[in-house]
Copies of this chain bind each other. A is one copy, B any other.
Amino acid sequence: MPTRLTNFFLRTLREDPADAEVTSHKLLVRAGYIRRQAPGVFAWLPLGLRVKAKIERVIREEMERAGAHEVHFPALLPREPYEQTGRWTEYGDALFRLKDRKEADYLLAPTHEEVFTLLVKDLYSSYKELPLTIYQIQDKYRDEARPRAGLLRGREFTMKDAYSFDVTDDGLDASYQAQREAYERIFERLGLDYVIVQADAGAMGGSKSEEFLHPTPVGEDTFVRSAGGYAANVEAFTTVAPEPIPFDGLPAPEVLDSPNTPTIATLVDLANLEYPRPDGRDWTAADTLKNVVLALTHPDHTREVVVVGIPGDREIDAKRVEVAFAPAEVEAATEADFAKHPGLVKGYIGPWSPEGPVFGAESSTGLRFFLDPRVVDGTEWITGANVDEQHVFGLVAGRDFTADGTIEAANVRDGDPAPDGSGPVELARGMEIGHVFQLGRKYAEALGLKVLDENGKLATVTMGSYGIGVTRILAIIAELHNDDKGLVWPAAVAPFDVHVLATGKDAAAFDAAERVVADLESAGFEVLYDDRPKLSPGVKFADAELIGVPKIVIAGRGVADGVVEVWDRESGERSSVPIEGVRQALGR
């Protein structure tokens, strides 16, 4: 039976919703696919549910083809397993926590590694039963600090998450590869171009991970690639550090007056004017060490101020520094943070150590201090002296100061060398559409998942974890396929195959439309039929364009001459087709 607009639960809106920031959100609400219930929480209306089901079907088919078995876990889970892996705490405020009537702790699961691990532990005991990959398509919860962008970053969202279990590292590689290939097929079927980039595995505690990114200038993620085949998201990019330099015989550092130089630019100008380089070359920002003060909020809500030293010609990259300090949340230090550490002299901050600043106010307490990997032993720097209007010149890393560690916090730039030696990288933007992880043995160890190996000995299982955000994918497709009139669905995920509409007051047009609808349905097309009487053609056309079914058939005045119009939503082309020939014109 066709779906008839006279009684379909669909209302389109003329205005963009006030709270919508991105195109997909605006259009999905206006065209009647979703409605917001709370920040980052949406209800699915019939049209949206149809598109979602189509995406899920593609994913299911490819999961089955990859030999994965479907299961379904609850969203409501007890605290204990997440306590055992540390994630009850590490997730911080992003985890929805609650108590039941007996005051027992529960969570709404943001991801299910723990309980999948326990399930396999519960049922399996021998290497002979492995490998195993199981998956679910299920609603997940993350209490995002800034839920925004509609379905692109929701607090309740549908995910396909798969988990693989192997005894050997080679087995894990094979399971990982099978999921990776399933992802390639899924994205091909959904018409989503992708780049596979190295990703940071830290958040999941794994050893290797890759992200599938759809490259698009409006993407929220940045990645880099080299002509030689290297690709990574910026969080995973590792800096190529220079070789250390012997510092024997270098002159001692000198603290010099540097009035009115609170920025790198003013400092470089003053240095070139007042303290020119002995060899005549200009000082540049790259000769300075910029010490940035950051505030970390740890999962237990303690706040820690740290100092990060990077070359003065670079900036802190918000995503890279988040990953570097995960699971802490990172923000710029506030006035209150500075007030607690009087040794931090704004604009003139130098290296710190656990005892306090290397230069300057000796009474200050220590802060952890981290350095960019380029600041290798023997490099010389101009940097703050932790005293107002003074800088140190010729400060030598490894001789005059050291750090608590190196950190990948500085931004990546076009031309930076790829870590695999494949040449300079260039930056590009994309949207994450999938993520595959080699978790290794972290979860199996924490939860005691062991099986008997070939030698009859207990071996800890090694795992992979593989995620696709179903509702996010839907939003991305909507984000990529639209025009100023509305949505333009690719056929693979469109809510219907054909949108038939009858216009005018002439019963003949409606009769012809009915015949076309019946014919298309008998050929297996899913048809949305706009049978609403007394509506102007303009309203019907506008709704059809907004809803975005790929093929539109218009039964109007032409019916008197035995023809209807077939309208391609994407190209806008319209052609007259005999009433009896619509099915053929649409390729069946």
Contact = CB atoms under 8 A, between A and B. Distances in A.
Contacts of A156: 74-76
A49 B35 contact: no
Interface string A38-82: 100111111001000000000000000001011111111110000
Q: How large is the interface on A (under 10, 10 to 19, 20 to 34, 35 or more residues)?
A: 35 or more
A67 B37 contact: no
Contact of A115 (B11, B37, B94): B37
Contacts of A42: 74
A338 interface: no
Nearest to A80: B38
A401 B70 CA distance: 66
A453 interface: no
Contact of A76 (B11, B38, B67, B134): B38
Contacts of A69: 8-9, 46
B97 A98 contact: yes
A108 B551 CA distance: 40
Copies in the complex: 2
Contact of A106 (B38, B74, B75, B119): B38
Interface stretch (A138-146, A320-328, A460-468): A138-146
A183 to B, nearest CB: 21
Interface string A118-133: 0100111000000010
Nearest to A65: B1
B38 A75 contact: no
A72 B98 contact: no
A158 to B, nearest CB: 10
A73 B76 CA distance: 17
A49 B134 CA distance: 13
A96 interface: yes
29 contacts: A7-B67, A9-B71, A9-B134, A11-B123, A35-B122, A37-B74, A37-B115, A38-B106, A41-B74, A41-B77, A42-B74, A43-B71, A43-B74, A43-B115, A44-B73, A46-B69, A49-B71, A49-B72, A74-B139, A75-B75, A75-B139, A75-B156, A76-B155, A93-B101, A94-B101, A96-B98, A96-B106, A101-B143, A139-B139
